Amino acid sequence: MSICTLAAWHNAAATPYGRHRVAPATRGQEQRAGMDGLWRTSRWLRYYDWDWSTAPWPEVERPQADHRAGLLPRRFAYHVLRVVRRAADGDPSAHADDLALQFADHNETLTAILEGFREPRPASHVLKIDGLATTSSSTQALRAFAQLRDLGLVVPAEQDEPADEGAIYLAASILYGIHQTEADSIEAMQIVRECEPRTFMEIGTAHGGSLFCWAQVAHPEACLISLDLPGGRWGGGYAPEQVPHFQQFLHPGQQLASVLGNSRSPAAVEHVRELLAGRKLDVLFIDGDHTYEGAKDDFENYSPHVRPGGLVLLHDIFEGVTGGDPTVEVHRLWRELTDTHECHTIDGPDHPTFGVVRM
């Protein structure tokens, strides 16, 4: 993608980035305005570095891995997707994936700048514009910097911005796969974010999409526990080798403990108890065994770890949610909980999807 194309695109993306927005940069002096202080590549690009081309996800079939590798040649697509999503929101004719592909097309100037700002640095340092910015290459660098800044891909070092839920969902679904739909996941993330959980547990992680979402909105120093049964029903779980992949998407101060086993087994219950070592959970998400007995056991075994006022979220609370599998009966548990607890639902496109219980 040429810088020119990016410039056009930047106009669509600029509105959501109001706080980074400055007058469009066109020429030397103007371009240098708004460059004071230290800048760095957005944390979205710094920490979500994943080389799909050399290390594809074990369970992702080749075409999908290739697609991802093609989409992410510089491995910064996570944030790019976030930006693209916002750009597409501003332009109904724009298709987010196409925009992402265009953007991900190699552009040496853009990527050199993004690499250069991995650590906080003055713009002049990275752009090498201490002298007069008259050559075409420095003019190009200035323009590229201004565009990356306006897109939120290079941010003031002290202002690393929080993630937004829409982009988190998009990234989770493209990068990992997620069993939930968009609007309700976004609402669930907002609820969890408000809770600022420092301790979070998920039963049923599958490919990691929902865990990815929770990690983004949990407290940056949260301890997260993922409990899943390798080969388990309704998703297949994950293998121990995948844990390092999940570690990649944590905030740097977060920790993840993975418990692989049947959530209903005494061993798993004990393992979680040991991990918590008396700490209470702020949020528990139950999305594992979807039978009535399984979901009920999960609630009874793990909700006592949730602090008073903390939340238990259950997924698939609607009867008939999984296309008529009669063994899925989370709705029965949900009905019981609504009689005994303070509960509310989060609605998907057609019916309630998440149930939220306040303990």
Q: What residue ranges bind ligand SAM (CB under 6 A)?
A: 178-180, 203-206, 209-210, 227-229, 232-237, 262-264, 287-289, 294
**Residue 75 beta carbon to ligand SAM: minimum distance, rounded to whole angstroms:** 22
Q: Which is nearer to ligand SAM, 151 or 188 (CB)?
A: 188
Q: Which is nearer to ligand SAM, 44 or 176 (CB)?
A: 176
**Residue 132 beta carbon to ligand SAM: minimum distance, rounded to whole angstroms:** 53
Q: Which is nearer to ligand SAM, 252 or 324 (CB)?
A: 324
User: How many CA atoms lie less than 13 Å away from 50 in the CB half-sphere?
Assistant: 23
**Residue 10 beta carbon to ligand SAM: minimum distance, rounded to whole angstroms:** 33
- Residue 271's nearest CA partner among 243, 302, 247 is 302
| Residue 271, token pair as written in the block | 């393992």
**Residue 258 beta carbon to ligand SAM: minimum distance, rounded to whole angstroms:** 12
Q: Which is nearer to ligand SAM, 120 or 236 (CB)?
A: 236
Q: Which is nearer to ligand SAM, 152 or 209 (CB)?
A: 209
**Residue 233 beta carbon to ligand SAM: minimum distance, rounded to whole angstroms:** 5
Give the integer Cα–Cα distance in Å for 303 and 286: 10
Give Cβ neighbours of residue 89 (< 8 Å, ≥ 6 apart). Answer: 16, 166
**Residue 117 beta carbon to ligand SAM: minimum distance, rounded to whole angstroms:** 33
- In the chain, the amino acid numbered 151 is L
- In the chain, the amino acid numbered 248 is Q
Chain-centre distance for alpha carbon 250: 9
Q: Which is nearer to ligand SAM, 287 or 329 (CB)?
A: 287
**Residue 69 beta carbon to ligand SAM: minimum distance, rounded to whole angstroms:** 22
Q: Which is nearer to ligand SAM, 27 or 351 (CB)?
A: 351
**Residue 247 beta carbon to ligand SAM: minimum distance, rounded to whole angstroms:** 17
Q: Which is nearer to ligand SAM, 107 or 180 (CB)?
A: 180
Question: What b/e sequence results for 48-74 when a residue is b if at least 16 CB atoms lie within 10 Å of its CB, and e otherwise?
Answer: bebebeeebbeebeeeebebbbebbbb
Q: Which is nearer to ligand SAM, 114 or 281 (CB)?
A: 281
Contact of 162 with 188, CB cutoff 8 Å: no
**Residue 349 beta carbon to ligand SAM: minimum distance, rounded to whole angstroms:** 16
Taking CB positions, which residue lies at the least distance from ligand SAM? Answer: 232
